[in-house]
Amino acid sequence: MDLRHVRYFLAVVDTGSTARAAQQVHVTQPSLSRQLRALEASLRVSLFERGGTRLRLNAAGHRFLPVARDLVARADSAASLLRALADGVPPRLTIAAPSATVADVIAPYVVSAGRDGPHVDVLEATGEAPYTALASGADLAVSASPPPVGTETLTVGHPPLWVYTPPDHPWHTERRRHVGLDELVAEPLLLPTAEHHTRGILDRAVEAMDGRYTALSQTTNPLLAQALAAAGHGVAVVSEDPRYGIEPLLIHGPDGKPLTMTLTAAWRASHYTADLLASFARGLAAYCAHAYPLWSTG
C-alpha cells in the first residue's frame, strides 16, 4: 500500500469530490482516479460507491477511514521527529492527559527539563479519553484510568485526594493535616462530576465502609469546586494542587492510609519512538517523586 494513495483517499473524503481533491494534492483528476483504483486493488476491496461525479464511502471505506488517518498522522509525526533530530531540535510529542495533570505534572516537568527536553503539545481529556487518543494522534497518554491491554506503561505516581475547607471551618482553624473518611461524609460536599477519577475513588471508599454523603454541588471543573470552598460555600474533595490561598487536608480511610489514585503513563510498544516515550515517562515519574513526595505512597 502506497502512503501517497492513502493521502489521495483522504483528500477525496475531505473535499467531497475527485476534482477538488485533485486540485488539493496537485495532480490531474484522471491521475487521482487511477491512484484510488490502485489503492483499492492493493487492499483488494472497493472503498467507494461510484455514481455521477461524486464518490461516497461504502462500508469498507468507512472502516478504512480512521485507519487511513492514523497511518498518515503517524507518518507525518515520524517525519517531523526525524527532521528535528537531524536538525538538533528537541523532538515534538503530543501528550493526552486531564487538564489538572497538564497543569500540575506535565507543564512543570517541561519547565524542569529545559531546552534539552522534548517540545510538548497536549490534548486535554478526562476519564479513559487520554488512552483513546493514542489511536488518534497522541504519542503518550497519562491518566488515572486502567491503561489499555497491550500498551507499555509506567506508574507516574499516586496523587492523593485532597479536602479543601472554607477559611473559617474548624478543620482549617485547627490546622489539621488530615481528616477521617467518617468525618468527611458528615459534611455537605462540593464534588467533581462522575467522570472524574477523584469522584470514583471517593464513592468506592464510602461504599466500602457502608457510608453515605450529601453532595452540595457537582462541577465539571474541579478547580471550581476548590474555588467554591475558598469562597466559603462548603467542603471540596478534588485531586488538584492548592490554589486560592487555602491549604489541603489528606483523607484517611478506615485503614488509616490516605486515599490516593494511581497516575499511569501509557504508549504503544510499536511507536516509532517508543524509547523516547519511555524516557519521557521516566522523567515525569522522577519529577513527581521529587516535587510531590506524598505521591510515592499508594
Locate CATH 3.40.190.10 in the chain: 90-158+263-296, 162-252
CATH class of 90-158+263-296: alpha beta
pLDDT (tens digit per residue) in 152-185: 999 999 999 999 998 888 988 788 899 999 999 9
Type of residue numbered 297: T
Domain spanning 3-81, CATH architecture: Orthogonal Bundle (1.10)
Specify the pLDDT at position 181. 92
As a whole number, mean pLDDT of residues 266-288 equals 87
Q: In angstroms, rounded to a whole number, what is the distance separating the alpha carbons of residues 20 and 99?
A: 39
Q: In angstroms, rounded to a whole number, what is the distance separating the alpha carbons of residues 120 and 124?
A: 13
**Residues facing 141 on adjacent strands:** 96, 266
Angle, CA 202 vertex, CA 212 and CA 190 arms, to 5°: 75
CB atoms within 10 A of CB 183: 14
Specify the pLDDT at position 250. 93
| CATH 3.40.30.10 is right for the domain spanning 162-252 | no
Q: Residue 21 is placed in which grid cell?
A: 481533491
Helix (H, G, I), strand (E, B) or coil at 248: strand
Which phi and psi (to 5°) does residue 24 adopt? -65, -40
- DSSP letters, 5-66, are HHHHHHHHHHHSSHHHHHHHHTS-HHHHHHHHHHHHHHHTS--EEEETTEEEE-HHHHHHHH
Locate CATH 1.10.10.10 in the chain: 3-81
pLDDT (tens digit per residue) in 24-75: 888 888 888 888 889 888 888 888 887 665 778 888 888 888 888 878 877 7
Name the pairing type of β-strands 162-164 and 248-252. Answer: antiparallel
Whether the per-residue pLDDT at 88 is higher than 80: the answer is no
Average pLDDT, the chain: 85
Nearest to 295 by CA among 174, 161, 192, 135: 161
Q: Residue 202 is placed in which grid cell?
A: 471517593
Report CA-CA distances (Å) from 249 to 180, 196, 259. Answer: 10, 19, 11
pLDDT (tens digit per residue) in 219-267: 888 888 899 999 989 899 998 888 888 889 999 988 888 999 999 999 9
